Amino acid sequence: MTRRKTLISAFAIVAAASMAACSSGSGGSGGAAGKPQSGGDLVMARADEATSLLPSVPTDNSAIWIIEEIYSTLVVPAQDGSGVQPSLATKWKQSADKLSWTFQLRKDAKFTDGRPVTSADVKFSIEQVQKKSSPFAFIDAVITKMDTPDAHTIVFHTAKPWAPLPADMALFANSIVPKDYGGKSAQEFAKHPIGSGPFKFDSWTKGSRLKIVKNTDYWQKGTPKLDSVTFNVVPDSNTRATQLSSGQIQINEYPSNSSIKTVSKTPGLKFSSFPSSEVDYLGMNGSRKPLNDVNVRKAIRLAIDKEGILKSVYYDRAKLAGPYLSPTTWAHNDAIKPTKFDLKAAKAALAKSSVPSGFTTTITISSGDQDASAEAQLIQSALAKIGIKLKIKSLDPSALYSAKGAGNYDMAFGLYTTDIVDPDEIARFGGTFSGGVHTLYTWFNSPTMNKLADKASSGSDQASRKKDYDQMQQIIDDNVPYIPLFYVPGNYSYSSKVHGFKPGATGNYFLEKVWLSK
Amino acid sequence: MLRWLVRRLLLAVPVVWGVVTISFVLMHLSPGDPARTALGEKADAASVAALRHQWGLDKSLPLQYLDYLGQLVHGDLGQSLYYHSSITSLMWQRLPVTLVLIVFSAILAVLISVPLASRSTTKPNGAAALVVRLFNAVIQGSPTFFIGSMLILFLGVRVAIFPAGGYPSSLGSRAWALVLPALTIALSIVPLLVRGLRAAMIESYSSEYVTFARSKGLGTGPIRRRYVLRNAGISGVSILGIQVGALASGALVIEQVFAIPGMGSMLMTGILNRDYALVQACTLVFGLIVVVVYLVTDIVYARLDPRARLS
């Protein structure tokens, strides 16, 4: 959904919040924790509707964040993204030959229809994700065979030694569904999904709201605190902001950047940023001249005033990016610093290139994205100073997607996030030619990157894996196929009555820990 | 009458076929791949190819077109690629919402326009007329999403009479929640209606039958109700009929602003995700709505004005 952020709507937001400030004045607990209370119905507003609640189908956050509440996975990501923690599995171990992983399941976990969760359910669930038409088939492709020696043991055999497997098992797509969908067809099951998570599916009015209720039989006793959570679809960002001020909702999933200031000033409302794995970057098509010249790309990197963009477009709600792996992963190479804005050095770099006096190129942005448009204009005026004439062209999001995939563009913005807590997925996606989309549509192809990624995923010692990832980040930094611009947090505005809301680096909401004060 | 109706319905067939064909061609020619959009950029090429095959997108375009027409003839709107469910069932959920919204706003538009128009015609150069003209100019100059946001702001937050968007589950509060969006859409056609009505009323006031009624000693009220409004109403009906297209497209935008789960938000989602079948179905249904409303307008027109016969 395109989110319009026009001047008018920005004005509306400011006016709305100031009015709310005048009229509400209800105060609120101001974030004081206190003793967690049970009960209450939490209402969240989001921009888009969930696509499907079948774990093997969706790629959209709207669906993913609900799936994580309805189903359980073998393990869950730690809130800080540093590793995984037990969930349905209590213990897991890699075999001595490193070619298999054995997981022990807990015995007290039940699906909401009363049946116990067994290893047969796990096997069935993973097989669904391995099907060719599933978006995350690539994650489970390494699993060659699954054994179920008893009801509470599952053994994954892998094609090669595979350190990221526990992290893979924490992926929402690998959520455990009942074997054979409890005798239903996939489509029928998707209408009334059954899981073993903290919440139970209640109802779904397509286009409007999806409600989940407390699973009273959840194996983690004492949780969840909330009686229910309702996800309302509210496409317009102004309307979401006003609904929050008027108390119609408690959490706004996507507050617009321009609304942040007024929200944090309004009594009874809070705004928080949570560390997320999101990296926003500027991609360059290295299969085209003169962007195939590393000196040109370096000149562009030097000429961009990232701090200026951070202030005026991101309202300071992000960090300048250095290496391509974000600080939320342990593999982040903090020796690589963000490139300093330096026009002189930029000119010097361009002088060494094939086009010393500059050239004309195009940046393609997503139509309706006001932030991208502002950002592109800032970059346009920066590049003009070193003789690069940048034209701005806009395409609708789906068309832009295709253009990038076909290599039919010069420069474009993009973003990536990781789905698992292990660095393997994103290191490959952002760094290797075959591990995703031609190294983020740049056509940068380095065999060394592939070798390093393979070596890192087969090693089991984190320190030596870190060395490989450090080197991968160094190669990207040296060759500049794309420019990591910002590490962007997850932004939420919400009522001060909401406590314990702390989304993880992989986006998980952990709603079982959330409670509402009266 | 019956023959006329049959002929009109037959004439509607090529119109609807044209709508279907144009939307099919436009959707399939626009760049973007629904399979890639559904699977995300991380999925590998084999997965995308598998899904394209599953959805029949690897067939040639003429073949897909014939398949689609065959489906339509059997009354099947196809499967939504994005929502993973049958479009017919989605339509049953979404269409009533939008229809209610359109009818509601048409009623409001009439309720607002008629008093405004008659106010401004009793003294065509008086203060009331000036206010109405100013109101018309301001409303016509403001985009609907802006009017919507402002209404939410004043009547939803500041004076919290109405909810700030949303679509509650109980019927009573649902009707209440539809007032602001319906008002917003209504306002978008009010200026046109007022102007049309006003012109027709002024013309009517200067006609001989009004002079005759006056000389007979009838008061202003009865003259306005019995002669002027009745005659001016004929042009009002045809303006309203023609503007139903505008009401429908107004609903498209306003449903987004007010978070109403109607056809508009579904069409937007469909377009952005290249959900071919869904967009085609929505266009088809919108097309049908307009065709039917034009038909109804003609019938009403003929009832009001005996000079226009249905033949």
Helix (H) or strand (E) holding A102: strand A100-105
Q: Does B282 touch chain A (CB under 8 A)?
A: no
Contact B164 A206 (CB under 8 A): no
Q: What is the mean pLDDT of residues B97-107?
A: 90
What the block records as the tokens of A220 is 């983690």
pLDDT of residue B309: 65
Q: Does A239 touch chain B (CB under 8 A)?
A: yes
A157-200 pLDDT per residue, tens: 999 999 999 999 999 999 999 999 999 999 899 999 999 999 99
Q: List C-alpha distances in Å: A238 to A101, A242, A503, B185, B259.
A: 49, 6, 23, 18, 11
- Per the prediction, chain B carries an average pLDDT of 85
pLDDT of residue A300: 97
Contact B269 A2 (CB under 8 A): no
Query: Which residues from chain A sit within 8 angstroms of residue B94, using beta carbons?
Result: 206-207
Dist CA A375 CA A380 (whole Å): 9
Which of A20, A132, A205 lies closest to B47 in CB terms?
A: A132
Count the alpha carbons within 13 Å of B292 in the hemisphere toward its beta carbon. Answer: 8
- Per the prediction, chain A carries an average pLDDT of 89
Domain B87-304 in CATH: superfamily? Answer: MetI-like (1.10.3720.10)
C-beta separation of A76 from A220 below 8 A: no
What the block records as the tokens of A346 is 């930029």
Q: Does A23 touch chain B (CB under 8 A)?
A: yes
Min Cα separation B190/chain A (Å): 23
Cβ burial of B129 (10 Å; 0-12, 13-18, 19+) is: middle
Cα Rg of chain B (Å, integer):
24
Interface test with A, best of B87, B149, B268 (most A CBs within 10 A): B149
Dist CA B174 CA B163 (whole Å): 10
- In terms of pLDDT, which residue wins out, B91 or B171? B91
pLDDT of residue B311: 55
CATH of A276-490, one of 3.10.105.10, 2.60.120.330, 3.40.50.1820, 3.40.1390.20: 3.10.105.10
**Residue reference for tokens 């993913």:** A64
Contact A234 B259 (CB under 8 A): yes
Dist CA A495 CA A240 (whole Å): 13
Dist CA B55 CA B45 (whole Å): 15
- How high is the ipTM of this complex? 0.75
Band of the pLDDT at B167, cuts 50, 70, 90? confident
Query: Which residues from chain B sit within 8 angstroms of residue A136, using beta carbons?
Result: 42-43
Q: What is the mean pLDDT of residues A195-219?
A: 93
Which of B44, B90, B153 lies closest to A12 in CB terms?
A: B153
Dist CA A59 CA A52 (whole Å): 9
Contact A23 B158 (CB under 8 A): yes
- In terms of pLDDT, which residue wins out, A3 or A306? A306
Mark which residues 184-213 of B lie under 8 Å from A by CB. Answer: none
Phi/psi at A159 (nearest 5 deg)? Answer: -65, -30
Band of the pLDDT at B34, cuts 50, 70, 90? confident
Dist CA A69 CA B165 (whole Å): 26
What the block records as the tokens of A422 is 């292990």
Q: Residue A67's closest CA among A197, A208, A213, A233?
A: A197
Dist CA A239 CA A252 (whole Å): 10
Q: Residue A89's closest CA among A181, A167, A201?
A: A167
Would you tell me how many other CB atoms lie within 10 Å of the CB of residue A478?
A: 10
Residues 6+ apart with CB under 8 A from B5: B295, B310
Band of the pLDDT at B310, cuts 50, 70, 90? low
Q: Which long-range contacts (CB under 8 A, 24 or more apart) does B235-238 make?
A: B235/B196, B235/B197, B235/B199, B235/B200, B236/B110, B236/B113, B236/B114, B236/B193, B236/B196, B236/B197, B236/B200, B237/B297, B237/B300, B237/B301, B237/B304, B238/B297, B238/B301
pLDDT of residue A32: 47
The pairing of strands A41-46 and A228-233 is: parallel
- Tell me the sheet residues that pair with A278: A488
Contact B261 A207 (CB under 8 A): yes
A309-323 pLDDT per residue, tens: 999 998 888 999 999
A391-441 pLDDT per residue, tens: 999 988 888 888 898 899 999 999 998 889 999 999 999 999 887 788 999
* Encoded amino acid at B190, one letter: V
Q: Does B181 touch chain A (CB under 8 A)?
A: no
Quote the pTM value.
Answer: 0.82
* Encoded amino acid at A346, one letter: A
Q: Does B288 touch chain A (CB under 8 A)?
A: no
Dist CA A69 CA A62 (whole Å): 12
Dist CA B228 CA B220 (whole Å): 10
C-beta separation of A422 from A167 below 8 A: yes
Q: Among A30-44, A413-427, B13-27, B250-264, which is the least confidently predicted range?
A: A30-44
- Delimit the domains of chain B by residue range: 2-73, 87-304
C-beta separation of A472 from A428 below 8 A: no
C-beta separation of B281 from B78 below 8 A: yes
Contact B36 A401 (CB under 8 A): yes
- Delimit the domains of chain A by residue range: 276-490
